[in-house]
Amino acid sequence: MSKTYLDQMHRKVTISTPPNRIISLVPSLTELLFDLGVGEKIIGRTKFCYRPKKKVQDISRIGGTKKFHFDKIQELEPNLIIGNKEENYKEGILELEKKYPVWMSDISTLSEAYEMIFEVGRLVGKQTEAQDLIQEIQHNFEQIKPLSKRVLYFVWQQPYMVVGQETFIDEMLQLCGFENLSPAPRYPQMTASEIKEVKPDLLLLSSEPFPFKEKHRLELAHQFPESEVVLVDGEFFSWYGSRLRYAGTYFQTLLEEIQNL
């Protein structure tokens, strides 16, 4: 039996239900599938899909998020592939959809994340579990006490790249009460002089994609003495699947630490 679904890129995708040979092209979606209770149906994942750590070890790798091994995917014979517009590359997705049902997520807001969780739950026959997960996330986010700060959120250095508007991370910053001082949408580059000019209260250094460490925090604290510099866990700001169930608690703890600086 097959059903036709509309994905978040407004594409019609016909899927054999329930799918039992799933490939996930995104780390946060791999974790979500496990948390919905269908981990045993995942036959392929990217090399960046490392959660849940012990459970993904025996799942075949099909390349990275930006470079798929099509021969490996063909060997696995999936009947559902799940990806993301931003994290995966268009050419690869176009190639995959010639042979397989490919359901794509497209997320820049929390409401779109909720929609994705529910729709993925529907795809794999776990609507109740998906709805319970959404309610848990919503409850945890209600506990956040926002803190008004002017911030820049760094995702790269040399050159410095920050998170702009029209991103999921920007939505998370807003939920924390932060004003994002990015000069442009998406992920613009900024020079040191431009950073100083906007006078941020906080520089947030993400653990991904560039792995900022304490040595980088100290370097930037020296370079920008007028701003507080804080290391943050990028998963809680950028993973839009079931990792969100822990994000509300993480944000509230982070806000309390910042308030005490």
* pLDDT value at residue 18: 86
In the chain, CATH 3.40.50.1980 sits at 2-140, 149-259
* pLDDT value at residue 217: 98
* pLDDT value at residue 42: 98
Fold of 2-140: Rossmann fold (3.40.50)
What phi-psi label fits residue 231: left (phi over 0), alpha (psi between -120 and 50 degrees) or beta?
beta
Q: Read off the pLDDT of residues 39-94 as tens digits, 9 standing for 90 and up.
A: 999 999 999 999 999 999 999 999 999 999 999 999 999 999 999 999 999 999 99
Of residues 147, 153, 151, the one with CA closest to residue 176:
147
The strand pair at 102-105 and 189-190 is best described as: unpaired
* pLDDT value at residue 17: 81
Across the range 29-33, mean pLDDT stands at 98
Q: Read off the pLDDT of residues 180-235 as tens digits, 9 standing for 90 and up.
A: 999 999 999 999 999 999 999 999 999 999 999 999 999 999 999 999 999 999 99
b/e string for 202-238 if b means 16 or more Cβ within 10 A? bbbbbbeebebeeebeeebeeebeebebbebbbbbbb
Q: What is the mean pLDDT of the chain?
A: 97
For domain 149-259, which CATH number applies: 3.90.550.10, 3.40.190.10, 3.40.50.1980, 3.40.718.10?
A: 3.40.50.1980
pTM summary value: 0.95
**Axis crossing angle, helix 110-123 with helix 127-141, rounded to the nearest 10:** 160
Across the range 149-157, mean pLDDT stands at 98
Query: CA-CA distance, 254 to 261, in Å (whole number)?
Result: 11
Contacts of 43 (CB under 8 A, 6+ apart): 21, 22, 23, 59, 60, 76, 78
